Every structure is written in structure tokens, then in C-alpha cells.
Amino acid sequence: MLIIIYQKKSPSISKLQTTLMIKYGVVRMHDLVQDILNWERFYFSGRLQKPVHILVDNLDIRNVNSVNLKAAMSAALLLLPPKFTEVELYARICSLSYMGDLRMLFAEDRNKVQKIVKGQFNLFHSMYKPFLDDYAAKDLLRFSSWSDNHGIIIQTGTCIYHIIAYYRSPLRIMIRMVLLPYHSLLKDYGLSAAGSFVSSLPQTVRTRMGMKLGEKRKLAESGRTINEVVINSREEAAECMRKVVRRIVMVSSARQAIAGLLAAGGVNAVRYLARKMVKAWRS
């Protein structure tokens, strides 16, 4: 069993010594791993695509979650236009688990995704930098060149930000922090790139996409024959994936809403929903 605490901020010791309301969930490790790898319910996998703090990691969940992070980035890249910023990339990743979420219709802050990304940009960058590097090495993604008269250069074609400045450290760091989130990225917009992004999606998503778009047999590098989703256009693949993920999230959010109502009781559930709705209306 694994206990997951949904707390935005870590409570102080003084608060722990008094009454403190904590929202938590319990999940079997097998179910957690299956959701991380396959997006079967896209509940815990969606949460783990955002910055979290893992207290105990007996099963090396961080390593398992790397598959989830790569899939999330691939899904986001499939949905994004040819040119975008890192903020837009992480916002798209963050929004995946909210596509189709029934709560977003009336009981969630409409600016939730933007607030999550802008408040934790550095953590998102640390999480996804290895995958940015990997896709850059495969020429699926690159950073547009940028420079000015002060000698600050961000090298094209790599996700390792080479900032060469004639100023000393404090100003250089400040410039990097200001410009990095809004620096433009370019992606390969062809069918081959779309196929690479789709191939990194979880099996559950690919299977459902294959049912809609068709499949073809392909010989893998391992020598085994595998099924591959037929991609006639990037737009078609992106829209199909969007519908598949939206359906998974919609069913999962409805299930969680019912489970929450039964677990918390009618009065507590109504109070919680009322607070969420007020927050949504104020956003």
C-alpha cells in the first residue's frame, strides 16, 4: 500500500501539533505502477507528471516514472504547434490530466495550469530536461538561436543552455532565469516525428488510437513484430490522442468524484465542493 498526501504546502510543526485537515489517498503499489506505465486511469500518473516530493521510494518509483514523463512530453509535443516556449510546453503537459476532468467545468480554478507551471517552472525544467536533451539529440526538437549585443547566446540544436556573457555571475543568472521560460523551441512537424511521439505513448493510449486510426505490423529493433498506429497526418494523430486521453480522464474523474462522495460523507463532500466552486468563480 502507498499513502499519497495531496497537500500544496508542507505543514509546519506548530500546525501539526494542532488540528490539521489533510487530503490523502491510498493505492496499491501494483495499481500505481500500472497507472504510471499505461495511463489506465490517468490519476496518479497525471499527478506524477507534475513536481512532487517522494518521501520513501522502496520500489524506485522515480525510475518507473521516467517512462510516464517521456510519454507526457511526447503527448504535449504532438499537441503543440511547431514553435512554442518552455512555459507553453509544461503548461500543455500539466493540462493533460485535466482534459475531460468534470471538475474543470465548474469546480476548478480556470488559471490552475498556468499557476502550477509559473510557480514551479524550475522544478518542471529539472524533471523534463533529460527528455528535452534526448529529443534534441534525435533532431526532433531544437532551441531557436538567440543573442544580443551583450554576448548572451543560447546554442541552437541542444537543450543544454550555453549562456556566454561578458557579465559576472549574478547578472548572468538573473538573465537566464528571466529569459529561459520564454525562449522559443522548434519541433519537427513531419509524419516521422509524429510517429516517434506516438510510439512513446503508453500502450493503453496507442491501442485505442490504433482502433480508430488503424494499425500496421512493424519489425522492431529487438526482432519482434509489433503493431504500430497508422498516422496519415500529424493533426489527425493529435486529435485522436486528445480524444483518447480526454475519455480516460473523464471516466476517471467521475469515478473519483463518486468515491470521494462516499468516503467523505454527504456533508463534508458538499462543503469541499462549495469551496472549490467559490474558488473557481473567483478565478
Residue 84: the pLDDT is 87
Can you give the C-alpha Rg of the chain in angstroms?
21
Distance CA 184, CA 180 (A): 9
Tens of pLDDT, residue by residue over 173-210, are 444 444 455 567 777 678 889 999 999 999 999 999 99
Q: Are 187 and 79 contacting, i.e. CB atoms less than 8 angstroms apart?
A: no
Distance CA 190, CA 197 (A): 11
Tens of pLDDT, residue by residue over 124-180, are 999 999 999 999 888 888 876 543 333 232 323 333 333 333 344 554 444 444 445
Residue 25: the pLDDT is 73
Residue 269: the pLDDT is 58
